[in-house]
Amino acid sequence: MTDHRPRPGRHFTDQAATEDSQAPRLRPGRRFDPSLEQTPVDHSQWDPDQESLLEASGGAAADAGPGAARRPRHGLFAAVGGAILLGTLELLTALGNAWTSADLLGLAWGGLGLVILLIATRTLISEVARARRLDRHDRLREALARLPTATADDITESTRALARHLSLDQDAPDWQALRDALEPHHDGQETRDLLEHHLMVPRDRAAIRLISRMSSETAVMVAVSPLTLVDMALVAWRHLVMVNRITRLYGLELSRLGRIKLWRQILHDMAFAGAAEMATDTGIELLSLDLTGRLSARASQGLASGLLAARLGLRAQALCRPLPFTDATRPRLGDLRRKLWQRLRRLDDTA
Amino acid sequence: MAVFSRQRLQHEMSNLIERSRDRQLRLAVTGLSRSGKTAFLSSLINQLRHAGVEARLDLLPAAREGRLLGARRVNQPDLEVPRFPYDQALKALGNTPPRWPSPTKGISELRLSLRFRPRRSTMLKAPTSTLTLDLIDYPGEWLLDLPLLQHDYDSWCRAQAAHRGEHREAFMAPFQDAVARLDPAAEACEDALAEIAERYAMGLKQAREAGFSNLQPGRFLLPGELAGAPVLQFFPLNLSKAEQQSCRQLPDTSVYATLAARFEHYRKQVVTPFYRDHFQRFDRQIVLVDLLGALNAGPERFEDLSAALAQLMQSFNYGKRHLLNRLFDSRIDRLAVAATKADHVTPDQHERLVRLLETLLAEPLKDLRYTNVPVKAFSLAAIRATDVREVHDAQGPSLALSGHSLGGKACLFFPGDVPTSLPDADFWAHQGFNFASFRPRPMTSTALDHIRMDSALDWLLGDKLQ
């Protein structure tokens, strides 16, 4: 039987609270000898090549938010590494045997096996290295999303990490413009605005241009292509290329595994988040009904696949951009749609 | 028949539309004495004059995107309001050694015409637009007179008697002596009244010198063009309610009746016209506060500043039932409050400065929020006088300010932490604050260096530069 009597009040000795009331001590002013060693606090001294804490493996941000820390699969790596090692040993002993027994065929097979193992090892290593870049990208995104409330050190850290991520060097014009604009007194939100303007906006513009061009070309291609099966293959190929280009634009070089991960995320977003967005993006159904009514059947097919490409591109852009979009800066599908429509109308009219 | 080309027609149309659109803004700058109004306005004009060339206005999107083309001074429309002495201010800053501009005494005005490219130029918009910006500078003390509108002479005398602290009373001693010897029923003697009024004004001025802010009537401190006029020669009498009753029967020539008449005149002819002719036409307002000076002056002055600011902010708190709204139709649609002289503390203290300002103005800000007036708090330095350095000594790295004291001595120090709320008495007794003053840096041909002027500008006029 549980006891349901009301519990009596209790007194706690509030050690922490009493200590805390004395804690916010205000530091008094201090005078320094002007001849003392001093360095100006100036962002123009920043060196983007300097490694930041964010990038160091297992850095401070690694245990940041939910979903950030993906447990590395030690078991899997151990199994694969062990298999390679054992395979090498096995092959080496086999080679030794083949050599002593002068078995030429066996020697050739052993050599081939070794070469294959070498290639496999190299691929594995580069995959692992690139997979870490994706993790780093996630960490960077989180750090940048926290910018408005960050401390001065975190701001410096994140800014540097972003510059490195975009592989900017000391002389890159946008990096120089950013350094000129940044002042030591800028807080997180202000820094974010400046990063957005100097580093993200030019890349956004390029990305939108790319998406717009690729999607309208896809649309035209589908509209004029005579074979549906070939269309589908071509469209899929073009989508792959477009997403790859967008990732590279935002400084993200992906491994095969990473690409699969990214595609999974893009498709997931398009299926769920994207659906909600489309519903809010009012008028799209109405407009497209109206448009398809005025276009030929082929052109409207083209329009549909062009729109899909544009949506895919925007999704990929939103996922790859190190600084997450705000509502004001997010590019809209509507702008791209208008361009697509104009292009197809021209095509239809000439046909 | 005249042939209009399509382009020409479009041009005419866009001109018409520009003119019919609201492309004018009256931006008012106020603050109590020595809060940095003159420096703020000088810097603001300077930044806008240099905008698009070498002014660093990165937090103002129009400037950052290169759409702000520049500004030009044009003739102001109000011919009876003095022009803001921008050239004198720049001359003072350009002196060797540089000086802070001398403070302005009353209301002054300056009109700028801003040229900018609209964010999206559509068919009906011209490629460039113009925003006419009227800058008005007036003493915050004048806003402290707002409560006078609710008073008559008797209730004002009682109110004045109510908030006298022991410190302030000391300044008023010569005045109290004189007023004790004055018989309210006697025939009014012009010279005697002028003399007592002078003592009263002296008392107020001394109190202000000592750091008090909540002083009424405001024109006694900054008379502007009214210096020496009889309308400023009145003062409160120490009378009980019963005495006041009996005094009402006195003839018009008596001391009491004269003082009451002058008070009434001041209320009707000095306070009201300011609200009617100027205040009611402001679109945007920024209130400057010198928090560091108040912290230096100690807890009593700080409390007094808080009371004065609460009083001052009343003028912007124009809910539907508010006095101001019943009298006039105010139209300020955006308000900024700014802690000035942010360059006198290290950058890590700026956020604390804003928090202290918000704590200080907690009550007025709540009221403003309730009446839905958008208001934002800033910490800024209109003209930056210091550099931030990192100093390494035995205690490790530390941020420090480097600059020149008012006397011209090079100094390097950490000015101490800014509290986020008012510390207790114990702290004042043991530590206190000592934020030093700096002299401005030598002028260069480029725009004045500043801290966060651009973000204040964005708040005050960014939406008109779209």
ipTM for the predicted complex: 0.80
Q: At which residue do the structure tokens 């900017």 appear?
A: A168
- Which two structure tokens, joined as six digits, stand for B442? 């030598």
Q: Is B65 within 8 Å of A38 when comparing Cβ atoms?
A: no
A64 pLDDT band (50/70/90 cuts)?
Answer: very low
What's the distance, CA B139 to chain centroid? 6
On the question of pLDDT at A16 being above 70, the answer is no
* CA of A258 vs chain B CAs: smallest distance (Å): 36
Q: How many pairs of residues across A and B have Cβ atoms under 8 Å apart?
A: 92
- Nearest residue to A208 via CA among A13, A340, A327: A340
End-to-end CA distance of chain A: 85
The residues, ordered by sequence, that sit 6+ positions from A118 with a Cβ below 8 Å of its Cβ are none
Cβ–Cβ contact A34 with B under 8 A: yes
Q: Would you tell me the crossing angle of helices A173-181 and A188-195 to the nearest 10 degrees? A: 150
In the three-class reduction of DSSP (H, G, I as helix; E, B as strand; rest coil), residue B238 is classed as: coil
Contacts of A37 in chain B (CB under 8 A): 391-393
**Mind listing the pLDDT tens digit for each residue in B175-220?**
888 888 888 888 888 888 888 998 999 998 888 888 788 888 888 8
CA B96 – CA B443 distance, rounded (Å)? 9
Contacts of A31 in chain B (CB under 8 A): 411-413
**Mind listing the pLDDT tens digit for each residue in B329-388?**
667 888 999 999 999 999 889 999 999 999 989 888 888 888 788 899 999 999 999 988
- Nearest residue to B39 via CA among B111, B133, B137, B178: B137
> Which helix or strand (DSSP H or E) is residue B453 part of?
helix B453-461
**Mind listing the pLDDT tens digit for each residue in A136-167?**
888 888 888 888 888 888 888 888 888 888 88
Q: Is A29 within 8 Å of B399 when comparing Cβ atoms?
A: no
Span A187-192, average pLDDT: 89
Contact status, residue B98 vs residue B117, Cβ threshold 8 Å: no
A326 pLDDT band (50/70/90 cuts)?
Answer: confident
Span A65-77, average pLDDT: 56
- Nearest residue to B115 via CA among B73, B169, B163, B164: B73
Percentage of residues in chain A having pLDDT higher than 70: 79
Give residue B11's pLDDT. 62
Give residue A46's pLDDT. 60
Q: Would you tell me the crossing angle of helices B350-360 and B299-313 to the nearest 10 degrees? A: 70
Contacts of B427 in chain A (CB under 8 A): 26
Contact status, residue B412 vs residue B402, Cβ threshold 8 Å: yes
In the three-class reduction of DSSP (H, G, I as helix; E, B as strand; rest coil), residue B295 is classed as: helix
CA B133 – CA B112 distance, rounded (Å)? 5
Contacts of B413 in chain A (CB under 8 A): 29-32
Residues counted in chain B? 466
Q: Is A26 within 8 Å of B431 when comparing Cβ atoms?
A: yes
Mean pLDDT (chain A) is 78
* CA of A190 vs chain B CAs: smallest distance (Å): 7
On the question of pLDDT at A60 being above 50, the answer is no
On the question of pLDDT at A210 being above 70, the answer is yes
Q: Is B411 within 8 Å of A33 when comparing Cβ atoms?
A: no
The residues, ordered by sequence, that sit 6+ positions from A171 with a Cβ below 8 Å of its Cβ are none
Q: Is B59 within 8 Å of A187 when comparing Cβ atoms?
A: no
Span B250-275, average pLDDT: 88
CA A256 – CA B459 distance, rounded (Å)? 47
Residues 162-201 on A with a CB inside 8 Å of B are 180-181, 183-187, 190, 193-194, 197
Identify the closest residue of chain B to A178 by CA–CA distance.
B58
* CA of A65 vs chain B CAs: smallest distance (Å): 26
Q: At which residue do the structure tokens 């208008």 appear?
A: A338
- Nearest residue to B100 via CA among B111, B87, B89: B89
**Mind listing the pLDDT tens digit for each residue in B32-70?**
888 899 999 999 999 999 987 788 899 999 998 889 998
Cβ–Cβ contact A135 with B under 8 A: no
Q: Among the listed ranges B151-165, B247-261, B294-308, which one has the minimum average pLDDT value?
A: B151-165
Phi and psi for B389 in degrees, rounded to 5? -130, 155
- Which two structure tokens, joined as six digits, stand for A189? 């939100």
3-state SS, chain A, equals: CCCCCCCCCCCCCCHHHHHHHHCCCCCCCEEECCCCCEEECCHHHCCCCCCCCCCCCCCHHHHCCCCCCCCCCHHHHHHHHHHHHHHHHHHHHHHHHHHHCCCHHHHHHHHHHHHHHHHHHHHHHHHHHHHHHHHHHHHHHHHHHCHHHCCHHHHHHHHHHHHHHCCCCCCCHHHHHHHHHCCCCCCHHHHHHHHHHHHHHHHHHHHHHHHHHHHHHHHHHHHHCCCHHHHHHHHHHHHHHHHHHHHHHCCCCCCHHHHHHHHHHHHHHHHCHHHHHHHHCCCHHHHHHHHHHHCCHHHHHHHHHHHHHHHHHHHHHHHHCCCCCCCCCCCCHHHHHHHHHHHHHHHHHHC
B→A contacts (Cβ < 8 Å), by residue, are 56, 58-59, 61, 64-65, 342, 347-348, 350-351, 387-393, 398-400, 402, 410-419, 423, 427, 431, 433-436, 451-452, 455
Give residue A282's pLDDT. 42
* CA of A38 vs chain B CAs: smallest distance (Å): 4
Q: Is A32 within 8 Å of B423 when comparing Cβ atoms?
A: no
Q: Among the listed ranges A184-188, B43-47, B421-425, which one has the minimum average pLDDT value?
A: B421-425
Identify the closest residue of chain B to A41 by CA–CA distance.
B389
**Mind listing the pLDDT tens digit for each residue in B69-109?**
989 999 888 888 889 999 999 999 998 889 999 988 889 99
On the question of pLDDT at A276 being above 70, the answer is no
B21: number of Cβ within 10 Å: 10
Contact status, residue B201 vs residue B121, Cβ threshold 8 Å: no
**Which carries the bigger pLDDT value, residue A94 or residue B432?**
A94
In the three-class reduction of DSSP (H, G, I as helix; E, B as strand; rest coil), residue B312 is classed as: helix
A141: alpha, beta or left? (left if phi > 0; alpha if psi -120 to 50): alpha
- Nearest residue to A144 via CA among A71, A64, A254: A64
Give residue B119's pLDDT. 82
Q: Among the listed ranges A62-71, A97-106, A296-305, B161-170, which one has the minimum average pLDDT value?
A: A62-71
Closest Cβ–Cβ partner in A27, A34, A184 for B347: A184
* CA of B452 vs chain A CAs: smallest distance (Å): 8
Phi and psi for A330 in degrees, rounded to 5? -60, 125
Angstrom distances, CA of residue B428 to CA of B165, B297, B343: 19, 10, 23
Give residue B272's pLDDT. 86
On the question of pLDDT at A44 being above 80, the answer is no
Of A279-288, B4-13, B422-431, which one has max mean pLDDT? B422-431
Helix, strand, coil % (nearest 5) of chain B? 45, 15, 35
Residue B254, strand partner residues: B187
B455 pLDDT band (50/70/90 cuts)?
Answer: very high
Chosen for mutation from A183, A190, A196 (greatest number of chain B CBs closer than 10 Å) is A183
Q: State the number of CA atoms in the 13 A half-sphere of B333 facing the CB.
A: 7
Of A106-110, B38-42, B198-202, B397-401, which one has max mean pLDDT? B38-42
Q: Is B413 within 8 Å of A187 when comparing Cβ atoms?
A: no
**Mind listing the pLDDT tens digit for each residue in B270-301?**
888 888 888 888 889 999 999 998 888 888 88
- Nearest residue to B141 via CA among B38, B34, B219: B219
Q: Is A27 within 8 Å of B415 when comparing Cβ atoms?
A: no
Identify the closest residue of chain A to B391 by CA–CA distance.
A38
Chosen for mutation from B412, B433, B452, B463 (greatest number of chain A CBs closer than 10 Å) is B412
Q: Is B451 within 8 Å of A183 when comparing Cβ atoms?
A: yes
On the question of pLDDT at A11 being above 70, the answer is yes
- Which two structure tokens, joined as six digits, stand for B423? 């510390």
Which pairs with CB-CB distance under 8 Å and at least 24 residues apart come from B204-210? B204/B171, B206/B171, B207/B168, B207/B171, B207/B172, B208/B33, B210/B167, B210/B171, B210/B297, B210/B301
CA A40 – CA A42 distance, rounded (Å)? 6
Give residue B111's pLDDT. 92
Q: Would you tell me the crossing angle of helices B255-265 and B153-162 to the nearest 10 degrees? A: 90
Q: Is A41 within 8 Å of B347 when comparing Cβ atoms?
A: yes
Q: Is A28 within 8 Å of B431 when comparing Cβ atoms?
A: yes
A47 pLDDT band (50/70/90 cuts)?
Answer: low
Contact status, residue B69 vs residue B52, Cβ threshold 8 Å: yes
B86: number of Cβ within 10 Å: 21
**Looking at residue B442, what DSSP letter applies?**
P
B16 pLDDT band (50/70/90 cuts)?
Answer: low
What's the distance, CA B175 to chain centroid? 29
Closest Cβ–Cβ partner in A32, A40, A186 for B387: A40
Confidence (pTM)? 0.82
Phi and psi for B412 in degrees, rounded to 5? -140, 110
B21 pLDDT band (50/70/90 cuts)?
Answer: low
Asked if residue B217 has a cis previous peptide bond (ω within 30° of 0), the answer is yes
Give residue B114's pLDDT. 92
Q: Is A32 within 8 Å of B393 when comparing Cβ atoms?
A: yes
Contacts of B391 in chain A (CB under 8 A): 32, 36-38
- Which two structure tokens, joined as six digits, stand for B291? 């928090």
CA B379 – CA B387 distance, rounded (Å)? 16
On the question of pLDDT at A184 being above 90, the answer is no
Give residue A22's pLDDT. 46
**Mind giving me the DSSP string for B50-77?**
HTTTT---TTSHHHHTT-EEEEEEE--S
Contacts of B411 in chain A (CB under 8 A): 31, 34
**Mind listing the pLDDT tens digit for each residue in B120-142?**
766 556 678 889 999 999 988 88
In the three-class reduction of DSSP (H, G, I as helix; E, B as strand; rest coil), residue B389 is classed as: strand
* CA of B447 vs chain A CAs: smallest distance (Å): 14
Closest Cβ–Cβ partner in B387, B413, B431 for A31: B413
* CA of B354 vs chain A CAs: smallest distance (Å): 12
Chosen for mutation from B345, B389, B417, B438 (greatest number of chain A CBs closer than 10 Å) is B389
Q: Is A38 within 8 Å of B400 when comparing Cβ atoms?
A: yes
CA A274 – CA A286 distance, rounded (Å)? 18
Strand order in the sheet with B410-414: A30-32, B410-414, B396-404, B387-393, A38-40
A126 pLDDT band (50/70/90 cuts)?
Answer: confident
Sequence letter at residue B176: Q
Q: Among the listed ranges A16-30, A115-129, A175-189, which one has the minimum average pLDDT value?
A: A16-30
CA B155 – CA B148 distance, rounded (Å)? 10
Contacts of B390 in chain A (CB under 8 A): 38-41
Contacts of A34 in chain B (CB under 8 A): 402, 410-412
On the question of pLDDT at A61 being above 50, the answer is no
